[in-house]
């Protein structure tokens, strides 16, 4: 599996942008992928939220941080 480019929402890593090895590393950091996409070059991008967040908490946090314009093109996080 290729590396993931991750934008963190919430928790200790809030607003950080990192490249990590895989989902296992993401879980070790205490996060889970909430939204994942692949850009034109095949790079996988993910929005990650804390593991203990409910779906509602994750959804609201993402909506608060993103504009509707950005959500129209999810690769442009």
DSSP 21-72: S-HHHHHHTTEEEEEEEE-TT--EEEEEEETT--HHHHHHHHHHHS-HHHHH
How much is the pLDDT for 77? 47
Instruction: Dump pLDDT digits (tens) for 62-73.
Output: 888 776 555 555
Specify the long-range contacts of residues 14-23, CB closer than 8 Å, at least 24 apart: none
Mind listing the pLDDT tens digit for each residue in 30-73? 999 998 999 888 889 999 999 999 999 999 888 887 765 555 55
């Amino acid at each position: 599996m290729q590396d993931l480019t991750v934008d963190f929402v919430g928790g200790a890593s809030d607003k950080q942008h990192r490249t990590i090895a895989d989902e296992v590393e993401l879980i070790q950091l205490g996060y889970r992928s909430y939204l994942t996409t692949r850009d034109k070059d095949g790079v996988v991008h993910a929005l990650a939220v804390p593991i203990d967040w409910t779906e509602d908490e994750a959804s609201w946090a993402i909506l608060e941080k993103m504009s509707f314009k950005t959500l129209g093109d999810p690769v442009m996080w």
